[in-house]
Amino acid sequence: MSFLKVVGTKITDEQGNEVVLRGAGLGGWMNMENFISGYPGCEHQIREALAEAIGEEKSEFFFDKFLEYFFTDADAQFYKSLGLNCIRLPFNYHHFEDDMNPRVLKESGFKHLDRVINICAAHGIYTILDLHTAPGGQNTDWHSDHGSHIANFWNHKDFLDRAVWLWEQLAAHYRGNPWIAGYNPLNEPTDPKHTRVIAFYNRVHKAIRVVDPDHIIFFDGNTFASDFSHFGDAHKEWANTAYSIHDYSSYGFPAAGELYSSTDEQRRRLKRSYEKKREWMDQRGLCVWNGEWGPVYARRQYEGKATDSINESRYQVLKDQLDIYNKDRLSWSIWLYKDIGFQGMVYVSTETPYMTLFKDFLAKKHRLAIDAWGADDSAVKQVYQPLIDHILQEIPPQYQNIYPAPVWKLDSRITRLSRNILVSEFMIKEWADHFVGKTMEEIDAIASSFKYENCLKREGLNHILTENAKLVQ
């Protein structure tokens, strides 16, 4: 077994054979996300609320069992059967370090990460380690788990220092493991100045290389892995490095504005968006990895009779993107492997204890559109429109676009702050109180809802992925 490495635009093994990585992200596992597992707000908020509601012992038991059941040998066996060869493992720094006890490594953080890396290796699946949440929050969204819209990671040296320290610990722990394809040091940074992200990458690259000279490093572009335009010649200092885009298409989401039907113009836009993201790498002959991409899907309990037609359109987006990727022999990691029914390759059955317990709560979440990802705001749009109109009326146009615009449009910024941060905050204890009075056995059953055997498969998605994985072998 040999280490993978970057040679020009390709990933190869040590014998020089090209290896095209095809797989998914294990989102919602060691970095939990609201739309993936059905809670409101951010992970640190629900962990605090659950401990307050049922006590530390039961709360820790639930989260540990959740991590255990979310990915097991059965998941890896199924995953490998699809012809996929790599899985991206997002994790939260909180597993390895406490904010009130910084730079003291929590060995417990390796319990489940080691377990899944080893399970995947046993099935011939590479892993990529992804720091999805860094101290202070490296981006403006919920998935960096800071409960705000300010990416304070970039504003405090201590946060930057702690992230470098953590990668030194991780690199020391995982050096010498060839089944780890590489390290993804920072997910979706949003540095408004566009310079601090490069300075951080210089620091963390050097720090990792002192400890681990072998593993590939995958660097995300700035502004949610979409923008390398300020990187200049920084790559000249970064040996054995690939560059990660996140190639989501608006056509794969409810707010697309038009149904995707694979017209010439729609396919042109798909391709242009992809080419723009990777332009900096192509100009310099660098290796590109698509670390996240993929549509979301309609659910019958919400979209009703329109579900099948919506999903056929989303599958067509998927097929057309893959057609573009295959021409470039692109390595990719679709988002995501498992969830409660919105985007996953497998998803928790509505008949499980977790889904029955939270059935009404999840319907309320959906109606109030308190998750930003793929939200359908049709039931509450009239509530927020006056605030949007107020800003448009009172704020001159030249002041309306605040970074991370244009990714965040003005209405998106307003609803993220008002719906996805403010309103969701009021629902956190309501989520936690569903566990009050539950025994350990009942809590274990709730967590076990996420086991592979309690999940359904999104057959249309999995068939498309399998067929395309075969094309680049």
List active site positions.
Answer: 188, 292
Amino acid at 8: G
Q: Which of 22, 142, 24, 27 is nearest to 450 (CA)?
A: 27
Per residue, the 3-state secondary structure of 310-321, as one string, reads HHHHHHHHHHHH
Burial of 243 (0-12, 13-18, 19+ CB in 10 A): buried
| Contact yes or no for 29/95 (Cβ under 8 A) | no
Q: Which residues 6+ apart lie within 8 Å of 355 measured at CB?
A: 340, 348, 349, 362, 449
Sign of the alpha-carbon torsion through 381, 387, 391, 393 = positive
Q: Which of 20, 38, 18, 19 is nearest to 28 (CA)?
A: 38
Strands 455-457 and 346-348: antiparallel
| Contact yes or no for 196/263 (Cβ under 8 A) | no
Pairwise CA distance, residues 252 & 235, whole Å? 32
Angle between helices 307-327 and 459-470 (to 10 degrees): 10
